[in-house]
Chain A
Amino acid sequence: MADLWLQFVLTIDATLRVATPLILCAMAGLFSERSGIIDISLEGKMLMSAFAAASMAALTGSPLLGLAGGILVSVALSLIHGFACVTHKGNQVISGLAINILASGLTVTLGIALFAQGGQTPFLNKSERFTDIVLPFAEQAEHVPVLGTIYKEIISGHNLLVWVALFSVIVTGYVVFRTTFGLRLRAVGEKPEAVDSAGGSVSGLRFQAVIIAGVLCGIAGTYLSTAHGAGFIREMAAGKGYIALAALIFGKWRPVPALLACLMFGFMEALAARLQGVEIPVIGNISTDLILVLPYFLTVILLAGFIGKASPPRSIGVPYIKER
């Protein structure tokens, strides 16, 4: 029983680690999509910034400069997305797809040119990464039953970016739902002509939204390569951007429900990792592939209106054309 409890606590701990990039990307998607810009390029931005952050950290030895590099590159991709979708009123899905494919090719190409390690970046040692922060009294807390284990295993021992991710949910919720900027942002995603006639700039707001999305994806990418991992590996985003998008939809474009969806999807992944090759009494060997597909499957079921209803911002995907 005690062993099972520890297993459970460790799975929850892993959930938080796995969910961190999902949370950041889901909040990024929330800003972008609430402003009316579809963002399927979460994946590409995260991949590209993972590469940039690891390269920067490897070259300078500083994880903070890595973070700066990751954010910078991700914002640059956001600006391309904005240039195509807002300035040139291009198709938002196509632009996002282009960025994803571009990132897949560019990371490996640049990686080989810079480090000649088959597209990877060099291994980052402890001083070049965001390391786990052990909270005070974590070791002593071990002896306290239940609460102590929770404190030591789940709450303590995460790196800075995990906390940033959780904090980003609060900030997103506040900015989008409690500030004038957030009100305008949501209005631009629902009824851009209203913002326009009130004297607001539709393009300006949408650009701000995609830039914020870029910053958050940049942190997510940095987390992958210089906090959770120790260097960049090709295709290391591995569909996480799309899972985050699914979580955003699952959370109906709201911060806290999206956070919960990210945690749920993260839990599935952590559970799948833990159950790999484990024989469970009665049921036998559970196929981990089938657990990993659940996020996509559940999102389809939700979108089909079988569990609640997810209605996107009304003007999502529609370029705004000013009437003359």
Chain B
Amino acid sequence: MNASSLPRWIDIGLLPVLNLIAALTVAGVIIAIIGENPFVAMGVMIKGAFVYDGALGYTLFYTTNFIFTGLAVAVAFHAMLFNIGGEGQAMIGGLGVGLVVLFLDSVLPPLLVVILAVPAAAAFGAVWGVIPGWLQARRGSHIVITTIMFNFIASSIMVWLLAGMLMAPGQMSPETRSFADGINLPLVYEVLQMAGFSVSRSPLNLSFVIALLACFGVWYLIWRTKLGYIIRATGHSERATIYAGHDPAKIIMLVMAISGALAGMMSLNEILGVQQRVILNFTSGYGFTGIAVALMGRNHPIGIVLASLLFGALYQGGAELDFEFQTITREMVLMIQGLIILFSGALAYLFMPAVVRIYSSLRKPTGSG
């Protein structure tokens, strides 16, 4: 008996939950070893993520980042490409936003600049994704290694530009000048307050809606279009693509462009949503977390939204740990994240043999086994 003979709810429901429980258990043991109560820590995180005033807004703000980077990894995964370059693609996407705004915010009306900045984020991210795609498709270099290298190259470009040409005059920290007034995506709490609801302040902005639209777009592309079918076929066998009359190299480049564009759009949330200037390291690891999100979400948009919510809650709740404990900081979240990637990614089928055994022994009395 193997994975395919298990019912779908076990494969996409039970196993991920078991993996998550295993990761959290190990994290709990580590927390206990350093002398804190893991259940109290968990309680603090849940309160910090959902209960406190404005907490939910922050959680959904982080969720937005993870939806973008998670989708980016998932789209590439469908073509069996492992894009570890989300971090760099997001940085370059942010650079795209910055360049468009910095050049145009004194000449064009704010609304128009914002409308131009959104595709710029996607386009710059796409370029940073398509180069490794091209190197893989046409020059045979492995996408994992090139995307790792491209993260470092992107990071150096950002340091070089933000501490050089693009640095705000009279400033010491490596960042651009602030964008002109009105150049930002509308904040959700402001919109809701205008509509008469009383909502507390949070950085949640229109990017969240764009992220959900992107989820729908990815679902439609992968499962409802011919191109999506070809992408999945390329993932299974390049020869199938050739037989169907398509060039696998072109599909690989296209997929990496889409993947890069999605990662690049993460910068909308951070740069156009809250910062209103380009700062260094605004991606702070969200690109890497996208890998965990895609793994947990089994590369499906609905799964990705759920996994993003989990990581959003971890990030926001993790910030709360800093205030409540002497010995626990937000690095704890990084540790939990590592454990989740280990258990739900590398050890995804750790519990499979046991589950198969239990499942088939439960099935036996009714006959078929």
Contacts and interface: CB of A to CB of B under 8 A. Distances in A.
Contacts of B148: 40, 242, 245
Nearest to B33: A113
24 contacts: A40-B148, A84-B342, A90-B347, A90-B348, A93-B82, A93-B84, A94-B346, A97-B291, A99-B338, A101-B288, A101-B334, A102-B334, A102-B339, A105-B333, A105-B337, A109-B30, A113-B34, A242-B148, A289-B163, A290-B156, A290-B160, A296-B153, A300-B153, A305-B141
A287 B164 CA distance: 9
A297 B155 CA distance: 12
Contact of B345 (A91, A245, A296): A91
Contacts of B35: 113
Question: Which size class do B's interface residues fall under?
Answer: 35 or more
A101 B341 contact: yes
B291 A300 contact: no
A200 interface: no
Interface stretch (B62-70, B182-190, B323-331, B360-368): B323-331
B288 A93 contact: no
A98 B141 contact: no
B153 A94 contact: no
A288 B291 CA distance: 31
A300 B149 contact: yes
Contact of A303 (B139, B160, B164): B139
Nearest to B163: A289
Contact of A105 (B84, B144, B326, B334): B334
Contacts of B350: 88
Nearest to B135: A304
Q: Which of B82, B152, B333 has the largest number of chain A CB atoms within 10 A?
A: B152
Interface string A82-97: 0111001011111101
B334 A104 contact: yes
B84 A99 contact: no
Nearest to A302: B141
A293 B84 contact: no
Contacts of A99: 338, 342
Nearest to A293: B156
B313 interface: no
A205 to B, nearest CB: 20
A303 B153 CA distance: 15
A290 B150 CA distance: 14
B178 interface: no
A94 B156 contact: no
Interface in B131-164: 135, 139-142, 144-146, 148-150, 152-153, 156-157, 159-160, 163-164
Contacts of A297: 149, 153
Interface residues of A, number: 48
Contact of B341 (A38, A97, A239, A312): A97
A218 interface: no
A106 B346 contact: no
Given A98-B342, A297-B153, A299-B149, A105 B336 contact: yes
Contacts of A101: 288, 334, 337-338, 341
B295 interface: yes
B349 interface: yes
Given A88-B346, A289-B160, A293-B153, A97 B84 contact: yes
A234 to B, nearest CB: 8
Contacts of B348: 90
Given A109-B335, A293-B153, A303 B159 contact: no
Contact of B152 (A110, A249, A293): A293
B281 to A, nearest CB: 12
A246 interface: yes
A109 to B, nearest CB: 5
Nearest to A246: B149
A312 B145 CA distance: 12
B358 to A, nearest CB: 18
Contacts of B295: 94
Contacts of A100: 338
Contact of A119 (B331, B335, B336, B349): B331
Interface in A64-89: 80, 83-85, 88
A103 B346 contact: no
Interface in A172-224: none
A293 B30 CA distance: 37
A109 B332 contact: yes
Nearest to B338: A102
A102 B335 contact: yes
A115 B346 CA distance: 32
B332 to A, nearest CB: 5
A300 B337 CA distance: 29
Contacts of A94: 291, 295, 341, 345-346
